[in-house]
Structure 1
Amino acid sequence: MLPVHLDRTRAEPLPAQLAATVRRLVTDGTLTTGDRLPSSRALAADLGVARAVVEQAYDQLLAEAWVETRRGSGTFVASGEALPAPAPPPRPAARGPQHIRLDAGTPWIDPRHVAGWRRAWREVSATRPPRGYPDPRGLAELRDALAERLARTRGLTVEPDEVLVTAGSTDGLRQLLGALGPGGVLVEDPGYRAAVETVRAAGRAVVDHPALAPVTGLAGCAAAYVTPAHQHPLGRVMPAADRLALLAAARSAGAVVVEDDYDSEFRYDVAPVPALAALDQSRVAYLGTASKSVSPSLRLGWLVAPPEFHELLVRRRTITHDTPPWPAQRALLTLLRDGWADKVVRTARRVYADRAPRVAAAMAPHAELAGPLAGMYSTWLTDPASATAARAAARAAGFDLPLLADYCRTARRTGVVLGFGGVTDAELDRALSAITGGLAGTPARSPAGVPAGPSDQ
């Protein structure tokens, strides 16, 4: 008899269950073309159901051409010509070569520090999670640690209750945009692409503003999004006069300045530049992230909003439970408390301080440095053809090199944005050889197993 089980507790009718089982037996090869099925009387007796159940199932399979009848002989699995062709098994899309990204946001995390990372997650597993939904502001002990860190490293004095833990800087921006009044958002051009998409997703107009020009007016804008400590991606520090002009414009228009302080800890030429929010916390919303100092995959950040928006944000988070997962928050608390994050920052700062001059020495003969050397990337200005050639040469060598044009909307700047945080020293040397070869007009040779690919500008 057929290996069939009918479940009377299911909503699906018994004839439909039987027909589905026969189809499966055919497609998995248990039943093959020409196999004779049990008679309706015999199968009904074996299954303990009315004969009509089997007859209905057979009729359905006959109509679908899964089976055929032979006069006086019974019911058989249909011949190959009549049998419906089984759907081809789904196959994953073919993957192209996996390129190493030379992006501006992947940090260097020294593998020697892995023990601290593991210890943090062991503590998570041994700690009892909060009862019910967590505090909408974020884990209280983590906010204590973040407030201390902001005062120590950024000159920003805040109370722990003023800190909101977020799922990264773009999450903090998204939540803040939902609390602001009507109006567009001024965004530096070229600028951070994720911020642009976040503003658009919030249904607000993006107001392009030349990245290096002072902001003197914000009429019609609810906010201005800026990266004053290290303009993304041109690298300039916003001058003091421009900071004061921006704050004056925000006060005049009743707008909020959103300061994304994404990598200020990684200055190695001078001391870190103080946060813009330290000048006027009533007008500036401060966004920080653990992506550069801990790990991008942790997806944690923090927001210090102006007082007039703070309570509204907390109320909304209380209702929506729009807070990061508790285990990630608890792990970050351990990494901050044990000094692991400070150690990672110090190590990475030394690595970047060593790599930045090497990048500059290789690139300077072929391109113009857009801003001071700081952080984990540098931006180089070239003509469009040279930028495209550099990217193509990088791809041929197994690297993905961003173009400056990709960060522009109405701006007309061209060049490359060369990140050197997420690679080893050997990989950086290979990448620089390929890129400078492309800039010089010398084709880079592709390593074995990584075919050359065209530019995808």
Structure 2
Amino acid sequence: MLPVRLDRADPRPLGTQLADQVRRLVLDGALARGDRMPPTRRLAAELGVSRSVVEQAFDQLLAEGWLEARQGSGTWVAGGAAGRRAVPVRRRTPARERDLVLLDAGTPWVDPRHQAVWRRAWREVSTATPPRGYDDPRGLPELRTLLAERLGRTRGLAVDADRVRLTGGTSAGLRHLLAVLPREPDDAVALEDPGYRAAAATVREAGRAVRDLPALEPVTDLAGCAAAYVTPAHQHPLGRVMPAADRLTLLASARRDGALVVEDDYDSEFRYDVAPVPALASLDREQVAYLGTASKAILPSLRLGWTVVPDRLLDAFDAHRALTHDAPPWPVQRALVTLLRDGYVDAVVRSARRVYAERAPRVVAALAPHAELAGPVAGMYSTWLLPQARAVRVRAAAERAGFRVNLLRDYCRTARLDGLVVGFGGPTDDQLERALDVLVDALSRR
């Protein structure tokens, strides 16, 4: 008798239950290729069902190729492993990993006082009429207009809405740009080192080599590079603002060597020591492609970003997006229209900036006696230089206490820098205080 059990309380038809269980027996190796199935009449009697139930299940499995009918000799197993009967493996459900409080560079503070506007935005989405077919790959016109206005107001980047393109985040924007850049056999993409790990992964997945740019040195040579990816307003993860002279040197090198500069402006609005530094793209909109994101100002899970594309790449960029249907979901774009229009984003940024401005000195005061600050503190994280072995011990202690802290070494490729990247955007005030106590205690132990 087949080891199957049909449940009449199950809402699925009995034939579907039988087919599912036979398919699982084949996949688990309990039924091997070449095994003969019981006759339908006998199996129906053993299971206490009508013969039509078994015939329905067998017909489904025959159509899928799991079983085969042999003229005059019955039904046989066609899928699975030949000549082998494996004892079904008892699968253990992995223990749920303990939730850790993230002290990372990318989890923002979200003020609960602004939830009313957030809910209103999604109510508007629910009553709006979605497009009947694929949406415009460039993004919603109203959203592009609002973003262009915001870029001019907050980033000093005067740009027409027609040059703004909505993407699934900065990595998606970088991926689309790499897809349309002219390609020579040896073209590489230059990236800051240490730098944003997702950018390096995106470049490699695009089939291009990564050339490391020392993060704190001027860029004077981009020969052989199709593009250079940089974070000039707040170098990720060392925190430096690219000096004005270095910006001009980078642009001059890019013009001379024919490389596109890709500016990732991931958290520039969260300066609390000085006014936000103007975007690099404001110096040369044809040499620089600008990447912005909703991840830090609103929520990472929105998976929404925008790219300001140089005119010479616009047509190819749009053609690639239309071909791949790679555009952010319409409901998310529609919600962001409301969040921008009704002032939610401005309010959240102001609130988060105040929180970060209050937390940053607390973090520095706690950790400065024990580690060296790698660069200016801005945004929602700080980076600390430590010997590698000590950094690993501190991270392990934090994890045992329920906190996740990243190693600086994980952001490096050829750079030899060690330490910790300590985020303070995501935790509550109480969680941050406990985390600092844990870190200080671990750092104090030699």
Q: Give the TM interval when normalised to the shorter protein.
A: 0.7 to 0.9
Do the aligned partners of 1:124 and 1:327 also contact (CA within 8 Å) in 2?
yes
Are 2:144 and 1:143 equivalent residues in the alignment? yes
Q: Secondary structure at the match of 1:113?
A: helix
Q: Secondary structure at the match of 1:118?
A: helix
Query: For each residue in 1:66-92, what CA deviation from the matched residue of structure 2 results, as whole angstroms up to 9, or x when unmatched?
Result: xxxxxxxxxxxxxxxxxx887355443
Do the aligned partners of 2:40 and 2:51 also contact (CA within 8 Å) in 1?
no
Q: Secondary structure at the match of 1:223?
A: strand
Corresponding residue for 2:239? 235
Corresponding residue for 1:73? none
Query: For each residue in 1:269-318, what CA deviation from the matched residue of structure 2 results, as whole angstroms up to 9, or x when unmatched?
Result: 00000000000001000000000011000000000111111111111112
1:292 is matched with which residue: 289, 296, 300?
A: 296
Q: 1:89 to 1:218 in 2, by over 3 A?
A: same
CA apart distance, 1:95:
2.9
Corresponding residue for 1:361? 365
The separation in 2 between residues aligned to 1:305 and 1:331, in whole angstroms, is 23
Are 2:310 and 1:306 equivalent residues in the alignment? yes
Question: Which letter does structure 2 place at the counterpart of 1:246?
Answer: L
Corresponding residue for 2:122? 121
The separation in 2 between residues aligned to 1:267 and 1:441, in whole angstroms, is 33
Query: For each residue in 1:160-188, what CA deviation from the matched residue of structure 2 results, as whole angstroms up to 9, or x when unmatched?
Result: 11000000000000000111122111100
TM-score, structure 2 normalization: 0.82
Q: 1:435 to 1:319 in 2, by over 3 A?
A: same
The separation in 2 between residues aligned to 1:56 and 1:376, in whole angstroms, is 71
What residue ranges of structure 2 are gaps of 5+ in the alignment? Answer: 7-17, 27-38, 56-68, 78-84
Q: 1:348 to 1:19 in 2, by over 3 A?
A: closer
Do the aligned partners of 2:176 and 2:320 also contact (CA within 8 Å) in 1?
no
Are 2:253 and 1:261 equivalent residues in the alignment? no
Q: Secondary structure at the match of 1:379?
A: strand
The separation in 2 between residues aligned to 1:19 and 1:153, in whole angstroms, is 59
Question: Which letter does structure 2 place at the counterpart of 1:127?
Answer: A
Do the aligned partners of 1:392 and 1:438 also contact (CA within 8 Å) in 2?
no
Q: Secondary structure at the match of 1:195?
A: helix
Corresponding residue for 2:11? none
What residue ranges of structure 1 are gaps of 5+ in the alignment? Answer: 5-15, 25-36, 62-83, 443-457
Q: Secondary structure at the match of 2:240?
A: coil
The 5-angstrom pairing of residues 426-441 of structure 1 reads 426-441=430-445
The separation in 2 between residues aligned to 1:97 and 1:156, in whole angstroms, is 44
The separation in 2 between residues aligned to 1:163 and 1:253, in whole angstroms, is 26
The separation in 2 between residues aligned to 1:412 and 1:132, in whole angstroms, is 50
Corresponding residue for 1:389? 393
Corresponding residue for 2:345? 341
Question: Which letter does structure 2 place at the counterpart of 1:254?
Answer: G
Q: 1:176 to 1:19 in 2, by over 3 A?
A: closer
CA apart distance, 1:343:
0.4
The separation in 1 between residues aligned to 2:177 and 2:242, in whole angstroms, is 23
Do the aligned partners of 1:393 and 1:437 also contact (CA within 8 Å) in 2?
no
Are 2:205 and 1:198 equivalent residues in the alignment? no
Query: For each residue in 1:26-49, what CA deviation from the matched residue of structure 2 results, as whole angstroms up to 9, or x when unmatched?
Result: xxxxxxxxxxx9985996996489
Do the aligned partners of 1:167 and 1:299 also contact (CA within 8 Å) in 2?
yes
2:326 is matched with which residue: 322, 327, 352?
A: 322
Are 2:163 and 1:159 equivalent residues in the alignment? no
TM-score, structure 1 normalization: 0.80
Are 2:274 and 1:270 equivalent residues in the alignment? yes
Q: Secondary structure at the match of 2:284?
A: coil
Query: For each residue in 1:225-279, what CA deviation from the matched residue of structure 2 results, as whole angstroms up to 9, or x when unmatched?
Result: 0000000000000000000000000000111000000000000000000000000
Do the aligned partners of 1:186 and 1:209 also contact (CA within 8 Å) in 2?
yes
CA apart distance, 1:389:
2.0
Q: Secondary structure at the match of 1:216?
A: coil
Do the aligned partners of 1:154 and 1:272 also contact (CA within 8 Å) in 2?
yes
**Number of equivalent positions:** 393
Query: For each residue in 1:192-218, what CA deviation from the matched residue of structure 2 results, as whole angstroms up to 9, or x when unmatched?
Result: 000010011101110011100000010
Corresponding residue for 1:69? none
Corresponding residue for 2:422? 418
Identity in percent:
62
The separation in 2 between residues aligned to 1:42 and 1:237, in whole angstroms, is 75
Q: 1:173 to 1:46 in 2, by over 3 A?
A: closer
Corresponding residue for 1:371? 375
The separation in 2 between residues aligned to 1:313 and 1:3, in whole angstroms, is 55
The separation in 1 between residues aligned to 2:50 and 2:364, in whole angstroms, is 81
The separation in 2 between residues aligned to 1:38 and 1:211, in whole angstroms, is 71
CA apart distance, 1:98:
2.1
The separation in 2 between residues aligned to 1:186 and 1:304, in whole angstroms, is 20
Q: Which has the larger radius of gyration?
A: 1
The separation in 2 between residues aligned to 1:329 and 1:377, in whole angstroms, is 28
Quick check: 346-355 or 320-329, which moved more? 320-329
CA apart distance, 1:418:
0.3
Question: Which letter does structure 2 place at the counterpart of 1:360?
Answer: V
Corresponding residue for 2:82? none
CA apart distance, 1:386:
2.2
Q: 1:220 to 1:87 in 2, by over 3 A?
A: same
Quick check: 340-349 or 313-322, which moved more? 313-322
Do the aligned partners of 2:233 and 2:277 also contact (CA within 8 Å) in 1?
yes
CA apart distance, 1:101:
1.5
Corresponding residue for 2:169? 168
Q: 1:39 to 1:164 in 2, by over 3 A?
A: closer
Q: Secondary structure at the match of 2:291?
A: strand
Q: Secondary structure at the match of 1:310?
A: helix
Q: Secondary structure at the match of 2:269?
A: helix
CA apart distance, 1:17:
7.1
Q: Secondary structure at the match of 1:431?
A: helix
Question: Which letter does structure 2 place at the counterpart of 1:152?
Answer: R
Q: Secondary structure at the match of 1:280?
A: coil
Do the aligned partners of 2:138 and 2:327 also contact (CA within 8 Å) in 1?
yes
Question: Which letter does structure 1 place at the counterpart of 2:320?
Answer: R
